Amino acid sequence: MSHSAEYWLEALHGLGFKRPVRIMNVCGGHERTISLAGLRGAIPGNIELVPGPGCPVCICPEEDVFEAIQLALHEDIILVTFGDMLRVPVNVPKREPRSLEQARAAGGDIRPIASPSEAVRIAKENASRRVVFFAAGFETTTAPVAAMLAEGAPDNLLVLLSGRLTWPAIAMLLDSEKAGFDALIAPGHVATVMGPEEWQFVVDKHNIPAAVAGFRPDTLLAAMYSVLRQLKDGKRFLDNCYQEVVLPGGNREAQRQLNEVMQVGDANWRGVGVIPDSGFALRDSFAAHDARRHFRAYADDSRKRVGEMPPGCDCARVVLGKIYPNQCRLYGLGCTPRKPIGPCMVSDEGACRIWWSSGYRENEWEGRKKRQSVG
């Protein structure tokens, strides 16, 4: 991208597109740049930037986190997981551990890792024990888990897989009566792995402009300009504003490995429900590494009913872009990064956490109450 952020800001203002427009992003990385760089305050006031389903930790089914906690507490295993998962709360009676962090304090051997390679190393160093890798993530993160298994993991390494695909959540929103957005910024690193073509349906089936963006303000602003220009000109196409990284077809070797190790099926999203063809599961040929087949299921069907967001928490509507983080009644009041109630305040990719870290402190409900009491 040869133009600067200033260039694209000027272009956005010069476009003269006055209609209110809502642009959704589906990546915590995009939302972080938008919030940290203060792009909402810099772009024309008729443009709303809506964070959508871009946080895999937030939508990881509660019953999967519960399962991981129970495995760590009741089986003789080492549980490894990406650090973001440790503080995700589950709905249990007060006396029981409500997160992996609390399960670790209660004696579970739970270790945060930053890479699937670390899971392999820990399994090799502890050859007499079983190591369970609780792996939540979107395509970008699930592909390395597939690579880890395709390359050949130690026999004692099992995977509790909670991988999800991003585009089916957008397809579900668009198929619903109220999608809630007029244009889409597609996630750059998902497209790096899976190819930008995955997002073509947004344009072809729904006539909604879309652009793949990277993570610097200039590429995000270029994508905003692209979709607004498309709306203004009445033309629709899938633009790629991250061409330096996102190649046509994506990373085909990574896709081959994903396909070798995993299959795609219907999957539950926390607070959202089952989305067709949105989840990864290990193929039969990798059953020996599948923690779901190796251990009894601690989370029964009733778990899936209680397994929604914590009481009072509006993460589900935040995830779907129905409300902004500070429109949740708990935002910044009962729920802060120090004492999170919902997963969107736990994860670095969660919209609530990103907004809080970027300095948005006023809860809209609280502000309204204050204004009412003053008036």
Partner 1 sequence: MCLAVPMQIKTIDDFQCVCEARGIEREVSLFMLQGEEIGPGDFVLVHVGYAIQKVSAEDAASSWELFDEILAADA
Binding site for partner 1 (CB under 8 A): 27-29, 32-33, 36-37, 55-57, 82, 84, 114-118, 137-138, 140-141, 143-144, 147, 150-151, 187, 189-190, 192-193, 214-217, 244-245, 247, 251, 253-254, 257, 347-349, 357
Q: How far is the CB of 357 from partner 1 (least distance, A)?
A: 8
> What does the block give as tokens for 372?
């009412």
Q: How far is the CB of 86 from partner 1 (least distance, A)?
A: 13
Amino acid in position 68:
A
With respect to partner 1, which residue has the nearer C-beta, 141 or 226?
141
Q: How far is the CB of 114 from partner 1 (least distance, A)?
A: 7
Q: How far is the CB of 236 from partner 1 (least distance, A)?
A: 26
Burial of 17 (0-12, 13-18, 19+ CB in 10 A): middle
Residues 238, 213: Cα–Cα separation, whole Å: 11
Q: How open is the CA angle 65-32-231, to the nearest 5 degrees?
A: 110
Strands (E), the chain: 21-25, 47-51, 77-82, 110-113, 130-137, 157-163, 183-187, 210-213, 238-240, 262-269, 273-282
With respect to partner 1, which residue has the nearer C-beta, 51 or 97?
51
CA atoms within 13 A on the CB side of 360: 23
Q: How far is the CB of 52 from partner 1 (least distance, A)?
A: 14
With respect to partner 1, which residue has the nearer C-beta, 97 or 325?
325
With respect to partner 1, which residue has the nearer C-beta, 230 or 240?
240
Residues 366, 3: Cα–Cα separation, whole Å: 41
Q: How far is the CB of 160 from partner 1 (least distance, A)?
A: 16
DSSP string, 244-271: TT--TT--HHHHHHHHHHEEEEEEEETT
Give CA separation, 154 vs 54, 120, 290, 338, in Å.
32, 7, 13, 37
With respect to partner 1, which residue has the nearer C-beta, 32 or 270?
32
Task: Report which of 135, 21, 11, 54 is spatially closest to residue 320, judged by C-alpha positions.
Answer: 54
Residues 323, 367: Cα–Cα separation, whole Å: 16
With respect to partner 1, which residue has the nearer C-beta, 70 or 347?
347
Q: Are 186 and 327 in contact (CB under 8 A)?
A: no
Q: Which residues contact 267 (CB under 8 A, 6 or more apart)?
A: 61, 164, 274, 275, 278, 279, 280
Q: How far is the CB of 245 from partner 1 (least distance, A)?
A: 5
With respect to partner 1, which residue has the nearer C-beta, 245 or 288?
245
Give CA separation, 283 vs 80, 271, 296, 317, 345, in Å.
21, 27, 18, 33, 33
With respect to partner 1, which residue has the nearer C-beta, 197 or 244?
244
**End-to-end alpha carbon distance in the chain:** 50
With respect to partner 1, which residue has the nearer C-beta, 32 or 303?
32
Q: What three-state secondary structure class fits 320?
A: coil
> What does the block give as tokens for 329?
């009644």
With respect to partner 1, which residue has the nearer C-beta, 73 or 148?
148
Q: What three-state secondary structure class fits 152?
A: coil
